Amino acid sequence: MRAVSVEDLKPGMILARTLVNDDMIVILSENTLLTKAHITRLTFLNIPVVYVKDEYELSKNYQAVAAIFNRGNAFLKDYKSVVSAARRIIDEVRETGNVPVSETNAVVTKQITPLAKSSGAIDYLYELNHLAADVYNHSLRVSILAGVIAKWLHFDAEKAKDIMLAGFLHDIGKTKFDQRLLDKNIENLKGEDYERYIQHTVDGHHILASVGGLSDGVKLAAMQHHERMDGSGFPFNCKGTDIHEYARIIAVADIYDNITTEREGYVKRTPFAAIEYFMQQMYTTLDPAVCVPVLTRIKDAFLGSRVVLSDGSKGKIAAFPNDFAALPVIEITKDRLINLNDHPDIKITEYNPK
């Protein structure tokens, strides 16, 4: 291994030592394949030197492989391979009403968990454009996001795996929907269609209730992920701690995915729209014990990322204010910084972590 100054790092180099900050929070893990976004982020965090693997430690085919695949491409490739497995599971539930527990556990443990542990998972999920909003894609993304949140909440491995399982199965009740309802914009549902939509939470719990090997948390997450802390949710208007911890976490993951994913009938918004929403809702409808760690940690993922503002300006995310403000400071030029918290009329319209 050799020490390299951050300014001399190149995409494709591999970290030889895990990087941690002063609070002992991991910034990047050992064996991370560095991308341009990683290097920019290290620069903004004022990290002067890192250790990378030298030629002796690397496979002789490393240069060729690194030239073909960057870490984002590898994430996308792994994601697509999991989608086919997720679709098989969801289709089996739709056709038979039975959950293949062994296969589902294997997919979560062997395929979803590594994606959730990936450095940059939040960025890579945002890059997954033009993906269908079907049940299995959405369930897979929520499962990955739940795993990321579990990491931020310092869950042990077994509990993290369980919350990812809850994320994957949270919308299983939608397997009872006909295609007409699945194709509709949820925000436009009225009357019987809306009542039928609400029923997916109860149906999900009924499907999972008799399944052996599933925790109460997994089953309750299916029924309660639309409940809200102030009692304004559905299906039973539960409040506060009457809502299972898993359901409160899945609610945040579910909302984040709905805001930031391209879906028919919806406008895909940036992660900063999700951050603003969580800031507004975390003391009313959402659990602050989940939102505060998410807001604290998710911002680190965006440092150094390129953005386009609603006034046409382009820049990089330089910092977040220390007062827990929702929005970042944007460096337009070295001499011009815009604190978006002081300019509510200016929004981030495009976010590109590359």
Task: Output the CA–CA distances (angstroms, integers) from residue 5 to 2, 20, 42, 55, 63, in the order listed.
Answer: 10, 16, 10, 17, 20
| Cβ atoms 338, 329 nearer than 8 A | yes
Share of the chain above pLDDT 70, in %: 89
Can you read off the two tokens belonging to residue 226? 């639309």
**Overall pTM > 0.95:** no
- Residues in a beta bridge with 107: none
Specify the pLDDT at position 187.
74
What does the pLDDT look like over 60-104, one tens digit per residue? 444 444 444 456 678 888 998 999 999 999 999 999 999 999 999
SS3 label, residue 18: coil
Distance from CA of residue 324 to its chain's centroid? 20
Give the pLDDT band (50/70/90) at residue 129.
low
Specify the pLDDT at position 69.
47
Average pLDDT over residues 156-179: 95
Specify the pLDDT at position 126.
84
- Cα-based angle 235, 163, 252 (whole degrees, multiple of 5): 55
Write the CB contacts of 288 (distance below 8 Å, at least 6 apart in sequence): 282
Specify the pLDDT at position 64.
46
- Phi then psi for residue 252, to 5 deg, are -70, -45
What does the pLDDT look like over 97-121, one tens digit per residue? 999 999 999 999 999 999 999 878 8
Specify the pLDDT at position 53.
82
Residue 161 pLDDT exceeds 70: yes
- Range in 54-68, 189-203, 289-303, 307-321 the model is least confident about: 54-68
